[in-house]
Structure 1
Amino acid sequence: MKTLIKKIIHKGWPVVFLLAILTLSTVASCKDDDGGNNLPVIHYLRLTDPVLADSTFTDVERGTMLAVIGENLDGVIEVYINNQKISFNSTYSTPTSLIITVPYDEDFKLTSTNPELQAELRIVTNHGTATFPMHVLSPGPNIFFVSAFYPIEPGDEVTLMGQNFYEIKRIYFSKDSVEVTMPITDYQVSNDYEQITFNMPDKLKEGGYIFVDCYTDEASIEFVPAGPKPAITGISSTMPMPGTEVTIVGKNFINVSKVNINGEFDIPKEDLEVSEAMNAITFTMPEAPENSGKIIVATISGTAELEGFYPREHIVLDFDNRGSRSWGDNSDTWTTDGTTDPFIADRNYSGIKGTISANNSWWGQIVTTTFWPGNDIIPDDTPISELELQFECYVTKLFDGPVLEIQIGGNFDASLKDYVPVSSFTGKTETAEWMQCSIPLESLVAEATWKEFTSRVNENPQDANTQLGIYVRNPSNKNDVSVEFYVDNFRIVPIQKEN
């Protein structure tokens, strides 16, 4: 028998065949012991991998393929999990085994949210029914943030905001994640299992961690009575147009009092919209700061900062003070009067608009002069892979066929082809509003370092008027496609690393 099993594993025969061979060797003695009773029986559950044959269990994840091991499991008619009929393949059935897969779809009900269901596996055959206790696990819990009025005093109401607060075993405070400082026994879970509310214990005045121990897993979050320190992880644009909406994302934006712009002016509390999850702040940019700097968000528990806001020293083209449009068909430079697209702009801007025919590889261009930041702004040894080209773009409607080609530094061999503008914040093409686009510089430049790049482009100053170009072509068979978009404030900046 052992030799036969080795041959089966070596030849990679189906798992069910191996299960059948393994169990048939014992079925005869079982039948003799039960006196001829052929009622189906389930002995245990295990994974189908023969290597894990000794791993038996009663808790299973959704989507798991299981081997059900027992006796008299032939003639299966129906299979139920949590009193819900599931599909099965009769090919994977023998008198001593049945292979099934726990459903993963959203319609499959779990006992965590439907306690009236029986947590069991039920196999119905043409000669009887077998049951076995089986618990299908819910998704593990997550805690996003602590909602409360800070500073939190004993007796104050506290709400844990998160998801998957199913089958809670215990909630407790701990200073070191090992020793339980204070258990929380009086709490309420919301109907959607996304909130846990309780009152702060009288004895707990110091910080630590809150743990939520559920049947499936455990989640925790740091607890600071005075309020956790805020953090900024991103922004919708580093150079938003005055009059447009700006969104700062991060965490712990609790009782925000103001947002300071580059040390020049404040956005007061009444002009700020903070999300319910306290992880986003939205406001309208009232004006452009004169200098580059940083955004500072002030909260009850401290401040959070984001460097590189309005990085004016990094601008290579703004159609005002640095660089200008040199030439191009179907393009121009404008100053908005507020009556037509883009309605709002930062002084001068450029763009391309018109109608392009099918299979047109040379139609509209914006070819410009540029200004490259010196090594006092971008050090010579900076890898090109650590830089990106950012610019503001306004698309009147989604591109349908046409695509852009962008070249920088006059090297068409390294140009970015088939580009469609998308927001670096949302990942989508936002229409009828300014959005920040970001392109890794290595997608546009062949050199490895900033010095290598600037050394080449500065060798021939007379070519400066061709060192950044945007070209529209239509590789599709769609005729008479309308194109209209505008661009401004091109800058080369370090790629923002996530905090």
Structure 2
Amino acid sequence: MKQFLKLSHILMFAIAATVQLAVTSCNDDEGNGTPVITGVRVCDPEFADSLFSKSAQGQIVAIVGQNLNDATAVYINDQKVSFSTTMNTSHSIIIKVPAETDGFELKAFNSALNEEIRVETTHGTATYPFQVLAASPVITRIQATYPREAGDVLNIYGSNLVSIDRIYFTDIAASDLAGVSEIGGQQVEISDYDVVVQDHYLDSKTGSYTTTSQLSLIIPELSYDAGSLVIECAAGVRYINYTKRPGAPVIRSISSDMPVVGETLVIGGNDFVQLDSIIMGDVTYKPDEFTVAETEAEIRIPITKVPSYASQGGITIVTPGGKATVDEFFQYETLLNDFTYDAEQPLSVNLGWGPDAVYMTGDETGIGGTGTVAHFDSYGQWWGQMTFFQRDWSGSGYSLPGSDLIPDDVTSDKVCLAFEVYDNNSSFNNGGAGYQGYFRYSLWTGSNTDAETPDIVYDNFAWDDYEAGTFTNPDGPTLQDSEGEAHVGQWYRAVVPFSALTTVDGDGVVNGYPYKGLTYKDIREKGINIVRIMSMTQGTKSGSVDVYIDNVRVICIQ
């Protein structure tokens, strides 16, 4: 009866086995006939009637049979295995199945080995077919040009696709195979396949061996257009959906909703197969302008052009299988400031507080940017450069995105002040003992002459020991993205959730979180009249600031 050894309660096995052997050894006369192995059992009463012909590495098992007493050596896969002579009777030997991390070799990676248990005794030798299993198999993806036809090459990618017993197609969808004990349907056998990659290595993260696998086969004649590809390995059965025609693409993530020229936009998802185009408003990118990962789950687009302000926004991926669209992309209604002044219809006006950032075109920066960008370039202490803008000279306040872009009930931890940023190796994020600088973000709900309006700020800076000059950035690095990471030498989107903004007293001590617990509707009703972004230093250690900022906006990150 072939089964997998699933129990790993080693101590329980050993105790049960010891008790069983003690009773057996008192009642058995040791035999001197030819030794015979009749099976392998786990040392647990629940499986007392079960025999096994395969095992995971590291399991405790009992080799059972007749005339096994006076064993001198035990081998698995032609490799010697240690055992306790005190646990050796005429009817059984207790062993621990060796593991690759102990230097044990599997038949899958050394074809010269015999997959068997061999017991040598003083009065003969016994063998028994037995397989030590590799790690559990995984199919991550399959790849072939669409439409898939008989005779085309299908590549299969995964891990631990070794010791394969069968490969076949079935007309049953993978979603309907979960939990079934036996796979049915209309099956078409694959009698031949090629092993393209079998990279067997010790995974430093898991501490166990794994195998990067790639197989290749010829697609057979199939009477159905969809079903599953099934691979039965000694260590398990795995399956994956198979279709002759591609499925519609799915967008799961976008690295920025408003990337600038010079930025690499990264899109994550599924079924990015044979892309025809990527449409951004009134701009189209063709296949020679972007790259698709081999996994067909990621697209990288070096941004060279962006939609016009007159476009409707949104991004659409077009494949033979259909389209995927995300509307929350290049929605210029979310912009507070792009630093590109239009006298006829200004998006924002500079109040002129200084020292002012330097405003440059993307061509002048040498690192990209769309239109005009703000450049913070200084070396010093305390009061750095800033951008200090309001909507217009009348102080009417910014027009924030409507509820069609950010739903009214979204909470303030999901509503963010966002901007594209390029850090050209500034002195930030140095471990809390060096440059004591950061960026301060300020929102004013009143005008710059309204003394009653509190300054709402975000610093992300706290002293550990002022005298020692040590500090922390409590929320993570300065200029962090939505994943809490800061990057150097590339454009990316930085965000600050409204829930993190604070009010401070005259000494700069936090005394409230005015947006915490509010909804986007509440934020809109409060309004925003002035946005200031400035570089600051709290201590006495100077450092360099070389940062470019563009497209300051309000967005929702779910």
Q: What are the within-5 Å matches in structure 2 for residues 291-440 of structure 1?
A: 291-320=311-340, 322=347, 332-336=357-361, 338=363, 340=365, 343-355=367-379, 364=384, 366=386, 368-369=388-389, 371=398, 372-375=400-403, 377-397=405-425, 399-401=429-431, 402=435, 404=438, 409=443, 410-411=455-456, 417-418=473-474, 419-420=476-477, 424=481, 429-439=486-496
In the alignment, what sits opposite 2:295? 277
Structure 2: distance between partners of 1:453 and 1:376: 15
Q: Per-residue deviation at 1:106?
A: 10
Q: Write out the 4+ residue segments of structure 1 that deviate beyond 6 Å after TM superposition.
A: 39-43, 49-56, 69-80, 122-132, 324-331
Q: Is the 8 A contact 1:333 1:348 kept in 2?
A: no
Would you say 1:446 and 2:516 are equivalent positions?
Answer: yes
Tell me how far apart the structure 1 counterparts of residues 132 and 458 of structure 2 sit (CA, whole Å).
60
Alignment size in residue pairs: 465
Asked if the contact 2:438/2:459 (under 8 Å) is kept, the reply is no
Rounded to whole Å, the distance in 1 between the matches of 2:358 and 2:124 is 83
344-353 or 93-102, which deviates more: 93-102
| Partner amino acid, structure 2, of 1:379 | P
CA distance in 2, matches of 1:80, 1:474: 69
Q: Among the aligned pairs, what percent are the same residue? A: 23
Measured after TM superposition, the shift of residue 394 of structure 1 is 0.9
**Residue identity opposite 2:357 in structure 1:** D
Measure how far apart 1:19 and its partner are: 4.4
Q: The residue matched to 1:305 in structure 2 has which SS?
A: strand
Q: How does 1:152-167 map to 2 (within 5 A)?
A: 152-167=148-163
2-structure distance, mates of 1:454, 1:74: 84
Output the CA distance in 2 between the equivalents of 1:119 and 1:396: 59
Distance 1:336 1:237 in 2: 21
Q: TM-score, normalised by structure 2?
A: 0.67
Q: Among residues 253, 264, 275, which one is paired with 1:256 in the alignment?
A: 275
> Corresponding residue for 2:111?
115
Matched with 1:61 is 56
| Separation of aligned partners in 1, 2:383 and 2:117 | 66
Q: How does 1:215-294 map to 2 (within 5 A)?
A: 215-262=234-281, 264-290=282-308, 291-294=311-314
Counterparts of 2:102 and 2:359, CA distance in 1: 53
Decide whether aligned partners of structure 1 residues 414 and 283 sit closer, same or farther in structure 2, where only a CA change above 3 A counts.
closer
The 8 Å contact of residues 439 and 479 in structure 2, kept in 1 or not, is answered as no
Code of the residue aligned with 1:185 in structure 2: it is: I
What SS does structure 2 have at the residue aligned with 1:293? Answer: coil
1:430-471 per-residue CA deviation (whole Å, 9 max, x = no partner) reads 32221223455544552242233444x44xx7xx44x66565
Give the aligned residue type for 2:136. P
User: Which residue of structure 2 lines up, in the alignment, with residue 4 of structure 1?
Assistant: none
Where structure 2 has 5 or more consecutive residues not aligned to the other structure, the ranges are 1-9, 174-182, 199-212, 341-345, 391-397, 444-454, 462-472, 502-514
1:30 Cα shift?
A: 5.4
Report the equivalent of 1:6. none
Moved more, 402-411 or 313-322: 402-411
Residue 109 of structure 1, CA deviation: 3.6
Aligned residues of 1:271 and 1:283 also touching (Cα < 8 A): yes
Please give the secondary structure, in 1, of the residue aligned with 2:19: helix
